[in-house]
Amino acid sequence: MRDGFIDRYGGERLVFPGVLRLLSHLLPGEFPYHPNWKFGVCHTWYWDLYPTVDHEVPVTLQGPDDPDNWITTSMRRNLIRSNRSLEDMSWKLVAPGGPDWDGLTAWYVRYFRDHPWLGTVQPLKKWYRAASANGVT
């Protein structure tokens, strides 16, 4: 949420994880999920739109493991970059996102509230609690 659901390596919009899990729950055939994100089984949007935390300066290159060194990126870019420096990749950081994009978090919270039966689905309930704990209403 801190980076505004923007991939800091490419500038693309990312999506709140609860939205992707909700799609998998509602449309399992069209939007499959695999707990280990098995490639070829899990929908590719998990790789392209799911926000992950990466280290601007990799820990293997003596970067600290603290919030000042954390950035948001997609799983695909996180894996592509691996332990290489931004300079080695010829990548530059883009600015964090602003208030115009929340990764569909507010939509998720509204949808969850409008469909109370979703509270019985633990992964979806977990993401609802996470969004609510961050002040999304």
Domain boundaries defined on the chain:
17-98
Predicted local distance difference test score (pLDDT) of residue 34: 95
Predicted local distance difference test score (pLDDT) of residue 136: 85
List the chain residues with pLDDT less than 50: none
Predicted local distance difference test score (pLDDT) of residue 45: 95
User: What are 20-39's pLDDT values in tens digits?
Assistant: 999 999 999 999 999 998 98
Predicted local distance difference test score (pLDDT) of residue 135: 84
Alpha carbons within 13 A on the beta-carbon side of 125:
7
Predicted local distance difference test score (pLDDT) of residue 118: 96
Predicted local distance difference test score (pLDDT) of residue 137: 80
C-alpha separations of 68 from 41, 60, 87, 129 in Å = 35, 16, 19, 25
C-alpha separations of 11 from 3, 7, 28, 50 in Å = 11, 5, 29, 14
